[in-house]
Structure 1
Amino acid sequence: MTHRAPIRRFCLTTLFASLMISGMAVQAKEWKSITIATEGSYEPWNLTLPGGKLGGFEPELMEDLCKRMGIQCKLVVQNWDGMIAGLNAGKYDVIMDAIVITPDRKKVVNFTVPYASTPATFITTKDSPLMPADHNIIKLHDDEKEINTAIAPLKAALKGKTIGIASGTVYTPFIDKYFKDVADVREYTSSADAILDLQAGRIDAVFDDVTFAQSMLARKENSNLTFSGPQLGGPIWGEGEAMGVRMADNDLKAKLDEAIKGALADGTVKKLSEKWFKTDVTP
């Protein structure tokens, strides 16, 4: 990030003070159009349809939110690992990619109110399931004793195995911290790439969001994949999924917050989540 020189900072401060003294009002930015970045490959949150158009839960929700705000919206594709950096560099105005709010991310991103909250689980092949599927959700807090007790059976099943995980997600540090002592951990640029390696037999399991896993398992080419073990959810994954804007763009955050609250209140989020996830993910 480029830092302004001290003399430049002083001059700007002096100019701002002069404007205020002279009675000139400082206007907030008028948001008539915004650009939203999404991955375009994290089904069913967002996906690229034949012809290049973006679809999925988030693009459809964003379309609704933009109508509520009376703002023109443009969706662009951006790899997840460069998404936050691109936002702060001014390449786009909003990021929307099933992004979970975390304390570390809040230091560099201004988050909207959450519009979803989902658990995570392991995916394996049917011919070598590490653990039977258990669709019960174990709610975890940021408590090492609680976590170690809950995941003990998973660690035993994954001993000596290789786990695939998308890099830079809220799940990555969890897998690194709690499973690297018993298994090899392999990071991928995208969750879809991890699934491809699972299919090819290069890894034994993938850990990811349940909604993404459901989408992958619904595909004909993935009929040999299955859930493994329980679903892990709760406050350990943060406050829920939300959109991110730059720290300075509080006015844009306020507009998005109002639109999201409206979409939650009138059932729009629930309707879209049941369409794309077959379950209600409203926070």
Structure 2
Amino acid sequence: MKSKRKGVATWLIGVVLGSAMAAGSVQAKEWKSVTIALDGSYAPWNLTLPGGKLSGFEPELVENLCARAQIKCNLVTQDWDGMIPGLQAGKFDVLMDAISITPDREKILALSKPYAATPATFSVADTKILPKASGNDTVKLDNDARSNQPAIEALRKALKGKTIGLQSGTIYTAFVNNNFKDVASIRVYKSAPERDLDLTNGRIDASFDDITYFTANASKSPVIIAGPTIAGPIWGPGEGLAFRKTDTDLKAKFDAAIVAAQADGTIKKLALKWFKTDVMP
């Protein structure tokens, strides 16, 4: 997160298109079944296995949440750009794709209680650009405004004249643009794997994303987690499910399921399995 990785600009495209339809669906539903959309290519949050089955932290978690809510859930894949229009048009009922909870998003979507909260960082293919992360160097930021912290200034100096890759529509866009656009080139990609391929092949110099994504994929490529970990309120309270504004009853069912899954250790168990660390908010 996504993806935490998901930003606001792309989401706004579908709001106007679906608002009239959404406004008409205010009556309560019984919610015996729902369709949940995931990207399917953001491991370890969600991934598509060779046979087409969805796997990862989120598919396993939502299976547990659906059982608690006594709802039959159908998981489908959808490119990020089509998620919001699909949700508003009734093609999906829930979005689950490492979606960060932010005030801007809450203006257009109903967002659940957070089920995870993770920091972000850079990755490089060449440590001459940025040194390999030490594992204990964390910078906490309060907002996405321009930061004058020494650690950020050091990153600006190291990345001056370089090209930074981002997945489109992510929450990280504002941070990277505010802090690095005046010293580096920013290149946007439709998916994280496309960006990673360009990093591996030397077409960009660095990329920025959720640290759990880089950690899970480190063994699959020569990409190196580099620089400090960026954490704090800048990323919001964490990642949650997204619903139509009108579906408050459905949100309430999943909120209760998330609280229960936190309380009995289910979320922690799945996080340790997929992330090798506890990501509880």
TM-score w.r.t. length of structure 1: 0.88
Does structure 2 conserve the Cα–Cα contact (< 8 Å) formed by 1:140 and 1:147?
no
Note if 1:233 corresponds to 2:214. Answer: no
The match for 2:175 is: 174
Where does residue 253 of structure 1 map in the other structure? 251
- Cα gap change, 1:145/1:73 in structure 2, threshold over 3 Å: closer, same or farther? closer
Task: Give the equivalent residue in structure 2 for 1:95.
Answer: 95
Match of 1:23 in 2: none
- What residue number does 1:202 align with? 203
Aligned mate of 1:244, from 242, 245, 254: 242
Tell me how far apart the structure 2 counterparts of residues 2 and 254 of structure 1 sit (CA, whole Å).
Answer: 22
2:9 corresponds in structure 1 to none
Q: Shift in Å at residue 149 of structure 1?
A: 4.0
In structure 1, C-alpha distance between the alignment counterparts of 2:242 and 2:18, rounded to whole Å:
21
Residue of structure 2 in register with 1:163 after alignment: 164
Instruction: Give runs of ≥4 in structure 1 deviating > 3 Å.
Output: 126-129, 143-150
Instruction: Kindly indicate whether the alpha-carbon contact (under 8 Å) linking 2:68 and 2:257 is maintained by their aligned counterparts in 1.
Output: yes
Which residue identity lines up with residue 48 of structure 1 in the other structure? T
| Greater alpha carbon shift after TM alignment, 82-91 vs 246-255 | 82-91
User: Which structure has the bigger radius of gyration?
Assistant: 1
Query: Judging changes above 3 Å, is the alpha-carbon distance between structure 1 residues 143 and 211 closer, same or farther for their aligned structure 2 residues?
Result: closer
Cα distance in 2 between the residues matched to 1:89 and 1:67: 26
Q: Is the 8 A contact 1:45 1:56 kept in 2?
A: yes
Q: Is the 8 A contact 2:45 2:57 kept in 1?
A: yes
Distance 1:255 1:67 in 2: 11
State the alpha-carbon separation in 2 of the partners of residues 175 and 143 from structure 1.
9
8 Å contact kept, 2:146–2:178: no
- Between 133-142 and 100-109, report the one with greater CA deviation: 133-142
Q: Which has the higher contact order (CA 8 A, sep 6+)?
A: 2
Whole-angstrom CA distance in 1 between matches of 2:128 and 2:198: 15
8 Å CA contact 1:101–1:238 kept in 2: the answer is yes
Cα RMSD for the two superposed structures: 1.9
Shift of 1:50: 1.4
Task: Measure, in 2, the Cα distance between the counterparts of 1:265 and 1:239.
Answer: 18
Does the residue aligned with 1:114 lie in a helix, a strand or coil?
Answer: coil
State the SS of the aligned residue for 1:282: coil
* CA spacing shift, 1:229–1:180, aligned 2, 3 Å: same
Q: Could you tell me which amino acid in structure 1 is paired with residue 229 of structure 2? A: Q
Q: Secondary structure, in 3 states, of the residue corresponding to 1:31?
A: coil
Query: Distance between the aligned counterparts of 2:99 and 2:212, measured in 1?
Result: 13
**For the structure 1 residues 119 and 27, does the alpha-carbon distance in structure 2 shift closer, same or farther, using more than 3 Å as the test?**
closer
What does residue 262 of structure 1 align with? 260
Q: CA deviation at 1:172?
A: 1.1
Q: How far has the Cα of 1:143 moved from its partner?
A: 6.9
1:122 matched to which residue of 2?
Answer: 122
Deviation at 1:82, TM superposition (A): 2.3
Using the alignment, how far apart are the partners of 2:160 and 2:254 within structure 1? Answer: 44
* Separation in 2, partners of 1:89, 1:45: 25
- Give the Cα–Cα distance (whole angstroms) in 1 for the partners of residues 142 and 206 of structure 2: 24
**Structure 1: how far apart are the matches of 2:176 and 2:94?**
28
The change in CA–CA distance for 1:29 and 1:166 in structure 2 (over 3 A counts) is same
Aligned letter for 1:259? A
Q: 1:161 to 1:240 in 2, by over 3 A?
A: same
Aligned residues: 261
Distance 2:87 2:49 in 1: 24
Code of the residue aligned with 2:244 in structure 1: it is R
Q: Is the 8 A contact 1:100 1:170 kept in 2?
A: yes
Rounded Cα–Cα distance in structure 1 between residues aligned with 2:84 and 2:197: 25
Which consecutive residues of structure 1, in runs of 5 or more, have no partner in the other structure?
13-25
1:64 Cα deviation from its structure 2 partner: 0.4
CA–CA distance in structure 1, aligned partners of residues 155 and 31 of structure 2: 48
Aligned to 2:187: 186
After TM superposition, the score normalised by the length of structure 2 is 0.88
